[in-house]
Amino acid sequence: MEAVKKHFFTDISVMLGRSMRHIFRSMDTIITVCITPIAMMLLFVYVLGGAIQTGADNYVNYLLPGILLMAIASGIAYTAYRLFMDKQRGIFERFHTMPISRSALLWGHVLTSLVSNAISVIVIILAALLMGFRSSAGILPWLAVAGILALFTLALTWVAAIAGLSAKTIEGASAFSYPLIFLPFISSAFVPTETMPSVVRAFAENQPVTSIVNAIRALLSDQPVGNEIWVALAWCVGILLAAYFFAMRVYKKRV
Amino acid sequence: MPNHSIQVIGLHKSYKQQQVLKGVDFEVEKGSIFALLGSNGAGKTTVVRILTTLLQQDSGTATVNGFDVASKPDNVRQAISLTGQFAAVDEILTGRENLIMIAKLRYLNNPRQIADTMLQRFGLTDAADRKASTYSGGMRRRLDIALSLVGNPQIIFLDEPTTGLDPESRIEVWKIVKELAAGGTTIFLTTQYLEEAEQLADRIAILHEGRIIAKGTLSELKQLFPQAKVEYVEKQPSLEEIFLAIVGKKEAM
């Protein structure tokens, strides 16, 4: 057991190196993850944006947080896909018959998801800058935004791990992400929730995306974040813990 | 310490309603080639999965290299490696990268050098920097076996290593297995081809409907049958011999 623990970080770094190679050899995964959110941003800013009253003078600023969450929700589907392929192809069996830490395998995939989603988030922010996104926020608020996004990515990646490990088909492994991608539409990401009918509004105001979007928006525009940031963090940590717990259970049961 | 690399006593395993293993006993001597012979669905892979710590048995005990597989899986994993039915190579990585990855995971010094040696030994040097997805079935199987040999494990499990291979590649795999055994490695192999067991194994056990119905050396098994009547028949070449002769591989054995 000692040896296994000692090598935990070696194992993780080898696993991370492996799946990062997978990503850089199929750049299309990052491109697809970026294209839909950028197209969505173009659509909302240049087609629909004129008719949307948000009270903000710069609609790109208003829109960006929700777009980033959308990109992450579609990016994590690839983690489910890669886990499913590993399970399917027998490479898991090879690793499991070796004296390496079992959870290092999952952590390798999870860290890869963090890195690849960070890349897409940066690409999308650059696109937003071209479209007129401006922020007066300093280093600290930006770090806070990065932290929230990382936490959100981690939480959803563990959800993806559950899907990837328990799916029977390749379609099943990625289908779970569709509702997640859709979630920003029923939130404060594109329009203020005040305009929604009461039932929808109640849902929108109490689902995680709204508090995360509001917190990021406030941070980027140098506004006081109030309670929203704590609600946002609570959602992320809560989902993260629950998903991690279930993913590990599925992992131990299946392999 | 007994001279057994593997010892299995009263192994039972069921999946839901279906009883797959109904009390399996056998032992494998250190440094020998042991073949578990059986038709599809006889439970061969289940035995392999239990011995390689991938699956827990319902009852009975199995020790590998002196360690109980259920209670000391980490110790067992130090001594074994598995080449499963489907080549477990990373298709997106190159052959060389696959080998380096496994060498790193075995915490060996000089992973690059180990990779080079293996590539040469298995005739994969020319294909070393191509993605494994571009390899032929035989090359993939060779890479798969090479990956299993990184770090020189004492006991190697080969689960139907030649299923789906063409005759040439099959003979290559046989050659590798014989070389390994000559070097002192214990080999546990499952197969559904009688010829394969006959060619390779020091001892053979026949698994049928969840039980070992016969075991022993080839000559011991032959004695279970009545003395053969001696007849003289002109020997016809088998299709395999014809194929190999035409392809120009005259008895590569």
Domain residues for B192? 4-86+155-247
Q: What phi and psi values does residue B67 have, to the nearest 5 degrees?
A: -115, 140
pLDDT tens, A28-64?
A: 877 888 888 898 888 888 888 777 777 777 888 888 9
Tokens (6 digits) for B97:
């990268």
> Which residue range is the domain that position A191 belongs to?
2-254
Residue A135 confidence (pLDDT) above 80: yes
Question: What are residue A183's phi and psi, to 5 degrees?
Answer: -55, -40
Q: Do the domain assignments include residue B106?
A: no
Best of A9, A97, A251 to disrupt the B interface (most B CBs within 10 Å) is A97
Q: What is the pLDDT of residues B145-183, one digit of tens each?
A: 999 999 999 999 999 888 878 888 888 889 989 998 998
Q: What are phi and psi of B107, to 5 degrees?
A: 60, 40
Distance CA B253, CA B249 (A): 9
- On whether residue B195 sits in a domain, the answer given is yes
- Mutation target for A interface from B72, B91, B104, B156: give the one with most A CBs within 10 A: B104
Residue reference for tokens 């110790």: B75
Task: Domain count for chain B, please give it.
Answer: 1
Q: Within an 8 Å CB–CB cutoff, is residue B79 touching chain A?
A: no
B229 CA to centre of own chain: 34
Closest alpha carbon within chain A to B150? A98
What ipTM was assigned to the predicted interfaces of this complex? Answer: 0.82
Asked if the C-beta of A68 comes within 8 angstroms of chain B's C-beta atoms, the answer is no
Q: Mind telling me how many Å the CA of B208 is from chain A's nearest CA?
A: 25
DSSP letters, B120-168, are HHTT-STTTTSBGGGS-HHHHHHHHHHHHHTT--SEEEEESTTTT--HH
**pLDDT tens-digit profile of B78-105?**
999 998 877 789 989 999 999 999 999 9
Number of domains in chain A: 1
What is chain A's mean pLDDT, rounded?
A: 87
What token pair was written down for B58? 């319902």
Q: Which CATH number characterizes residue B75's domain?
A: 3.40.50.300
* Binary contact (B74, A99; C-beta < 8 A): yes
